[in-house]
């Protein structure tokens, strides 16, 4: 549009500007592979329904950043052609069930159930509450499990024996801890609740390695959101050995959040949601909105910390930046991050591939016998999309 307006001007100076602008636009088209007018790829393939391209905009020239088509018709937004291979020839986004769904998205293959936690709300006594829930993936029936109100469950993961490990954030009356729930018997045990006698801040999300170690993040969200006392230690990442010993393995984060390992467990990814101070609408632009990656040494400790991806918003219009929350990894070491605009997908190199558009995604998880169905939680809905990918790091689920 800007080019056409300039071309209509009669002044020779403005005509020159138009020529320069046209050259810039042509250069931009070559810089973004396969972006063409309409829905046809240069190689002759048609874009599937619901799929569109992302474009780089310009603030100075009033060219919007984001989808090349109406967002109503763009559920999948492509930044790199590799994303098309992940989506397949006819991707479908399905809104599965309406329910308060915030964290977790853990598949229990024995009963084809997905476990998750609700948004935090206020109970009858004014205490903070988060329900631990499950949904039957065959029928869509949602069940609220009986968990103590003061625990405030958040992220979770299956251990290698099929038990559910839950990050319990705690409250003013109860410390935060990592809980193990035997899904066959219902028995609950405390795995760990302190580091050198210091209570955890608010255990947030967890992952389990092949040797049975439990890794989890511990930001101070309980304090900044008003349901925990002031922290006594900085926001660290911890590892619990199979014998129950707790070690701090990484710090230097503002709000460590989602975490995941590469398929070979040689690299470790951690999301930092420090940009979001605590409550929705409170931001600090000087704080992180990124994913960090470490190398894992032979003794299980971390080294060579570096930036994997700084996360923004695809259409440039959200009140803030990407704020990566839960993260997952597939067998090709693509990294999936829940963000305010959906699920952003990155290549192993950190290159952005594309976006599965859905507002306010906190976490997601793979399910199904081929571990290729991505279930997405966005506070009010559980949705899913079948991908040309397979989840990594789900030892128990991989046995089925």
pLDDT at residue number 242? 95
Residue 33 has a pLDDT of 36
Beta carbons of 21 and 6 less than 8 angstroms apart: yes
Picking from 173, 96, 167, 175, the residue whose alpha carbon sits closest to that of residue 130 is 167
Distances (CA, A) of 223 to 166, 202, 257: 19, 8, 15
Q: Are 335 and 351 in contact (CB under 8 A)?
A: no
Pairing verdict, β 128-129 and 132-136 = unpaired
pLDDT at position 146, please?
67
Spans of all domains in the chain:
2-87, 93-398
What's the pLDDT at 276? Answer: 76
Ramachandran class of 323: left when φ > 0, alpha when ψ lies in -120 to 50, beta otherwise: left
- pLDDT value at residue 275: 84
Q: Report d(CA 153, CA 204) in Å as an integer.
A: 8
SS (H, E, C) 127-150: CEECCEEEEECCCCCEEECCCCHH
The pLDDT, as a whole number, for residue 397 is: 92
Q: What is the DSSP string of 333-386?
A: --EEEEETTEEEEE-TTS-EEEEEE-SS--EEEEETTTT-EEEEE-EEEEEEEE
pLDDT, tens digit only, all 400 positions of the chain: 433 333 333 333 333 333 333 333 333 333 333 333 334 443 445 799 999 999 998 889 998 899 988 877 899 999 999 999 999 999 999 999 999 999 999 999 999 999 999 987 776 666 778 899 999 999 999 999 865 566 899 999 999 999 999 999 998 888 999 999 999 999 999 999 999 999 999 999 999 999 999 999 999 999 988 889 999 999 999 999 999 999 999 999 999 999 999 999 999 999 999 887 766 667 788 888 999 999 999 888 899 999 999 999 998 765 567 889 999 999 999 999 999 999 999 999 999 999 999 999 999 999 999 999 999 999 999 999 999 999 999 999 998 8
- Architecture of the domain whose range is 93-398: 6 Propeller (2.120)
């Amino acid at each position: 549009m800007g080019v056409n307006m300039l071309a209509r001007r009669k002044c020779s100076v403005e005509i020159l500007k138009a020529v320069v602008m046209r050259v810039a636009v042509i250069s931009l088209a070559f810089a973004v592979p396969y972006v063409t007018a309409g829905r046809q790829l240069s190689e002759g393939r048609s874009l599937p329904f619901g799929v569109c391209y992302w474009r780089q905009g310009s603030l100075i020239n009033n060219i919007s950043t984001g989808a090349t088509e109406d967002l109503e018709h763009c559920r999948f937004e492509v930044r790199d052609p590799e994303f098309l291979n992940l989506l397949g020839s006819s991707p479908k986004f399905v809104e599965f069930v309406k329910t308060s769904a915030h964290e977790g998205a853990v598949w229990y293959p024995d009963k084809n159930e997905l476990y998750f936690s609700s948004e935090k709300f206020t109970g009858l006594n004014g205490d903070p509450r988060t329900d631990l829930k499950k949904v039957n993936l065959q029928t869509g029936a949602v069940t609220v499990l009986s968990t103590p109100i003061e625990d405030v469950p958040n992220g979770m993961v299956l251990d290698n024996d099929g038990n559910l490990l839950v990050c319990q954030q705690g409250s003013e009356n109860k410390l935060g801890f990592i809980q193990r729930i035997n899904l066959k018997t219902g028995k609950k045990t405390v795995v760990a609740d302190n580091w050198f006698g210091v209570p955890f801040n608010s255990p947030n999300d967890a992952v389990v390695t092949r040797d049975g170690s439990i890794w989890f993040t511990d930001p101070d969200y309980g304090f900044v959101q008003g349901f925990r006392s002031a922290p006594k230690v900085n926001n660290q990442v911890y590892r619990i050995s199979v014998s129950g010993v707790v070690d701090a393995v990484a710090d230097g984060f503002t709000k460590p959040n989602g975490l995941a390992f590469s398929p070979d467990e040689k690299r470790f990814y951690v999301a930092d949601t420090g940009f979001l101070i605590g409550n929705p609408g409170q931001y600090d632009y000087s704080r992180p909105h990124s994913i960090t990656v470490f190398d894992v040494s032979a003794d299980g400790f971390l080294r060579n910390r570096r930036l994997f991806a700084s996360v923004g918003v695809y259409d440039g219009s959200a009140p803030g930046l990407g704020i990566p929350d839960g993260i997952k990894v597939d067998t090709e070491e693509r990294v999936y991050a829940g963000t305010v605009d959906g699920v952003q997908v990155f290549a192993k190199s950190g290159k952005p591939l594309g976006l599965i558009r859905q507002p306010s995604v906190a976490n997601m998880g793979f399910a199904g016998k081929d571990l290729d169905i991505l279930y997405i939680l966005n506070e009010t809905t559980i949705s899913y999309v079948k991908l040309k990918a397979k989840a990594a790091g789900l030892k128990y689920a991989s046995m089925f």
